Amino acid sequence: MITLTINGKSQEFDVDPATPILWVLREQAGLTGTKYGCGIAMCGACTVHLNGMPIRSCVTPVQAAAGQEITTIEGIGNAATGLHPVQQAWIAEQVPQCGYCQSGQIMAAVALLHTNPAPTDADIDTAMSGNICRCGTYPRIRKGIKVAAAAMAAQRGGANNG
């Protein structure tokens, strides 16, 4: 048995410890927002956060996450619990097309803005170039990150003032 904390909830899984986190999330935990794209950490569709850091869940064995915090796209926000500013920006800028890569793109963008609240274009290139989008939504992703960064800065400003 391996214990994982997924989106704040502790769960036990009876799996081969070498199984990549991706398949445990999708098949055992029923969280299908995290996608399989390449299986070799080349496309980023499987990006989740491990203790807040973006990782490629398709190549990270589940044993490496035992007892630690995994966050998936389902834990970032939704219409019921409230959308994250990155998700709001993705809607405002109409970023997704086919949408298959976008969970991974959003996870990478959220992680970027967590460590770097005001990323430059070069910062965005560095943080986001591991995530492939075959629909070519890159210009809108770039814009979305900037829109989200501004919204988050405004929130912080509001919080400081309030």
Task: Determine, following the binding rule CB under 8 A, whether residue 85 of this chain makes contact with other proteins.
Answer: no
Residue from 2, 4, 6, 20 touching other proteins (CB under 8 A): that is 20
In the complex, what is the shortest distance from the CB of residue 153 to other proteins, in angstroms, rounded to a whole number?
Answer: 20
Q: Judged by CB under 8 A, which of 4, 43, 112, 149 binds other proteins?
A: 43
Half-sphere exposure of 135 (CA within 13 A, CB side): 13
Nearest to other proteins of 42, 154 (CB atom): 42
Which of 6, 45, 110, 149 is the binder for other proteins (CB under 8 A)? 45
Q: Measured between alpha carbons, how far is 1 from 50 in angstroms, rounded to an integer?
A: 19
Q: Of residues 95-124, which lie at the interface with other proteins (CB under 8 A)?
A: 95-103, 106, 124
Interface ranges with other proteins (CB under 8 A): 15-16, 19-20, 23, 26-27, 30-40, 42-43, 45, 72-74, 76-79, 83, 87, 90-91, 94-103, 106, 124-126, 128-142
